[in-house]
Amino acid sequence: METVLSGIRPTGNLHLGNYFGAVKNFVKMQHENRCFFFIADYHSLTTHPHPDNLQQSVKQILVEYLACGIDPQTATLYVQSDIPETVELYLFLNMNAYLGELERCASFKDKVRQQPNNVNAGLLTYPTLMAADILIHNADKVPVGKDQEQHLEMTRTFANRFNKTYGVNYFKEPKAYNFNQDLIKIPGLDGSTKMGKSTGNAIYLIDEPEVIRKKIMKAKTDMGPTMENQQRPQEIINLFTIMEQVSSPDTFQYFNDAYNNCSIRYGDMKKQLAEDVIHFCEPIRARMLEIASNNEYLQKIRKIGAEKAHESAQKTIREVRKIIGF
């Protein structure tokens, strides 16, 4: 049985990118594997140093995970800060992580550009904390979106370096996973290649139907194709990429052909896309509303998750301490 782990930062509601990048694959794998799904609240401190709403955000993500179909009976659903062993492993891994490789990490460079006045050490060592999350359960597979590929590469580097340094074969080489397909990147509605939590270009699973309709009808498009089979601009590729995930293959084919023979009407395509996104999100939203008010249930899930994750993490940290010589 393989160990599968996935995680998300509690910095906003789940959007379609989160779902198709990380959650969907995890849900598909949860019954055949040893599965951990966690809420990365420590990670959120790298960009939100004053987390006034931390507990509320953690609760919201817990609700959203459950509504997406994560089964807390089979998978271990937990909150990162409930497992302080992760922090100890983070410290050990940091001792063998080098400034140059951390500075070269694409997500670090992005953050330096985005928040030049808050380039903290937590941002720099974000990949070692992420490696600690993964290695604390010695995961084999990590369902993530394309943006996390480099972090997974770094996790393998840290795992191998640990093994080499101490002359052991302890950590496995975890792989970013999407059922033998390329990792996915869901684009934004504004023509950019990535749907993001704070970029204003996202459709959230919790969005009401009318909100979804408005967002999609406003999505960026061009003047329309003028030549058969012509190359598509990014904003049009984006609409088709989202459609490929939420609509039926026939619908996708219909609009794809319409684009290629220049008969497409973007208004029709957007209307169809909006209805298909709504059809996809509605049951999830309904479950969210149902679960959100049940604090007792949520607290119980969190407690059980923490206990299960703790057991696995304690075993790892005990063995790692021994290997290092403590």
Q: What is the set of active-site residues?
A: 111, 194, 197
Count Cα neighbours of 119 within 13 Å in the Cβ-side half-sphere.
12
H or E stretch at 141: strand 141-143
String of DSSP letters for 162-189:
HHHHHT---S---EEESTTS----PPPT
Determine, following the binding rule CB under 6 A, whether residue 7 of this chain makes contact with ligand TYM. yes
Tokens of 167: 């002359």
Please report how close the Cβ of residue 22 comes to ligand TYM at its closest, in angstroms: 3
How many CB atoms within 10 Å of residue 189? 23
Determine, following the binding rule CB under 6 A, whether residue 22 of this chain makes contact with ligand TYM. yes
Please report how close the Cβ of residue 9 comes to ligand TYM at its closest, in angstroms: 4
- Alpha carbon separation from 71 to 199, 205, 296, 297, 305 (Å, rounded): 30, 18, 17, 13, 11
- According to DSSP H, which parts of 229-294 are helical? 234-246, 249-260, 266-292
Please tell me the distance from the alpha carbon of residue 110 to that of residue 133, in angstroms, as a whole number: 22
Please tell me the distance from the alpha carbon of residue 43 to that of residue 127, in angstroms, as a whole number: 10
- Alpha carbon separation from 278 to 27, 58, 204, 206, 254 (Å, rounded): 20, 25, 11, 10, 19
Contact pattern from residue 142 through residue 161 relative to ligand TYM, giving x for each residue in contact according to CB under 6 A and a dash for the rest: x-xx-xx-------------
Count Cα neighbours of 301 within 13 Å in the Cβ-side half-sphere.
27
Contact pattern from residue 37 through residue 56 relative to ligand TYM, giving x for each residue in contact according to CB under 6 A and a dash for the rest: ---x--x-------------
Determine, following the binding rule CB under 6 A, whether residue 184 of this chain makes contact with ligand TYM. yes
Determine, following the binding rule CB under 6 A, whether residue 130 of this chain makes contact with ligand TYM. yes
H or E stretch at 88: helix 85-94
Please report how close the Cβ of residue 231 comes to ligand TYM at its closest, in angstroms: 23
Compare residues 83 and 195 and give the one whose CB is closer to ligand TYM: 195
Compare residues 7 and 191 and give the one whose CB is closer to ligand TYM: 7
Q: Which of 3, 4, 13, 17 binds ligand TYM (CB under 6 A)?
A: 17
Selected range binding ligand TYM among 128-136, 224-232, 272-280, 309-317, rule: CB under 6 A: 128-136
Please report how close the Cβ of residue 319 comes to ligand TYM at its closest, in angstroms: 20
Q: What number of chain residues touch ligand TYM (CB under 6 A)? A: 25
Q: Which of 89, 102, 124, 195 binds ligand TYM (CB under 6 A)?
A: 195
Determine, following the binding rule CB under 6 A, whether residue 33 of this chain makes contact with ligand TYM. no
* Identity of the residue numbered 177: Y
**With contact defined as beta carbons under 8 Å apart, do 285 and 206 qualify?**
yes
Determine, following the binding rule CB under 6 A, whether residue 9 of this chain makes contact with ligand TYM. yes
Compare residues 26 and 259 and give the one whose CB is closer to ligand TYM: 26
H or E stretch at 56: helix 54-68
Please report how close the Cβ of residue 23 comes to ligand TYM at its closest, in angstroms: 8
Please report how close the Cβ of residue 15 comes to ligand TYM at its closest, in angstroms: 7
Selected range binding ligand TYM among 15-23, 46-54, 289-297, 300-308, rule: CB under 6 A: 15-23
Compare residues 12 and 254 and give the one whose CB is closer to ligand TYM: 12
Please tell me the distance from the alpha carbon of residue 320 to that of residue 136, in angstroms, as a whole number: 10
Binding site residues, ligand TYM, CB under 6 A: 5-9, 17-18, 20-22, 40, 43, 130, 133-134, 142, 144-145, 147-148, 184-186, 194-195
